């Protein structure tokens, strides 16, 4: 076999991450328990970032898109977005029918025709965009290593985010979603990530 043809075949196989998805490994619904607690306060780029816990949170899903650059002007507070799928959507046959795009803090997906086992409401409730806030540098490095197709488990807290400038004026506020059934603006989860596990199929 010619070296170029072999390289192209290997590249094609590497890109077909959907075929390596194991649905049983991401079949559980996210675990969420309402919980308060003292706000977590961080100093970032001359701003105070105040994270108010709303619930403990754990989710396992397959990464279908990531975004780390040009998110918005507050990316110093939430430096990464990660789109995950789980349950009925974490199935190779379903994933082959979907195209994902993550930009400007929003995840979108396209498909044609009905997808057996995954009608529109199921898709909406099993695809999430997560705004990630690493608890420390080690977690941050692990998050930065996530690639499309990885099986990812995030553990931490859902938090409301408030950002104040050096004068103490609040310049941004972002509430976290607390349900998987919402869509559109405000439907994303703000996750203060305390632990992360990443497996590459």
Classify residue 5: in a domain, yes or no.
no
12 within a domain of the structure (yes/no): no
| Domain count within the chain | 1
Residue 166 lies in a domain: yes
Domain that holds residue 57: 26-199
**Alpha-carbon gap, residue 6 to 105, rounded angstroms:** 38
Q: Assess if residue 138 is contained within a domain.
A: yes
Would you say residue 34 lies in a domain? yes
**pLDDT tens per residue across span 33-59:** 999 899 999 999 999 999 999 999 999
Decide if 7 is inside a domain.
no
Q: Is residue 19 part of a domain?
A: no
- Burial zone of 6 (CB within 10 Å; 0-12 exposed, 13-18 middle, 19+ buried): exposed
Helix (H, G, I), strand (E, B) or coil at 57: strand
Rounded to a whole number of angstroms, the CA Rg of the chain reads 18
Q: What is the pLDDT of residues 74-122, one digit of tens each?
A: 899 999 999 999 999 999 999 999 999 998 888 999 998 889 889 999 9
Q: Is residue 184 over pLDDT 50? A: yes
Matching residue, tokens 């780029």: 45
**Is 66 within a domain?**
yes
- Check pLDDT > 50 for residue 7: no
């Amino acid at each position: 076999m010619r070296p170029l043809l072999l390289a192209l075949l290997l590249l094609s196989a590497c890109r077909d991450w959907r075929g390596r998805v194991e649905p049983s490994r991401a079949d559980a619904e996210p675990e969420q328990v309402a919980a308060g607690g003292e706000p977590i306060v961080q100093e970032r780029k001359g701003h105070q970032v105040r994270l108010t816990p709303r619930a403990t949170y754990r989710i396992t899903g397959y990464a279908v898109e990531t975004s780390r650059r040009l998110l918005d002007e507050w990316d110093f507070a939430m430096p990464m977005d990660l789109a995950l799928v789980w349950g009925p959507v974490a199935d190779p046959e379903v994933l082959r029918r979907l195209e994902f795009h993550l930009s400007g803090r929003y995840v979108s997906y396209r498909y044609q025709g009905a997808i057996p086992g995954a009608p529109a409401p199921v898709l909406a409730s099993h695809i999430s965009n997560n705004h990630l806030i690493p608890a420390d540098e080690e977690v941050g490095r692990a998050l930065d290593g996530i690639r499309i197709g990885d099986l990812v488990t995030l553990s931490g807290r859902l938090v409301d985010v408030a950002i104040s400038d050096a004068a103490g004026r609040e310049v941004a506020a972002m509430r976290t979603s607390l349900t998987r059934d919402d869509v559109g603006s405000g439907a994303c989860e703000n996750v203060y990530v305390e632990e992360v596990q990443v497996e590459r199929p």
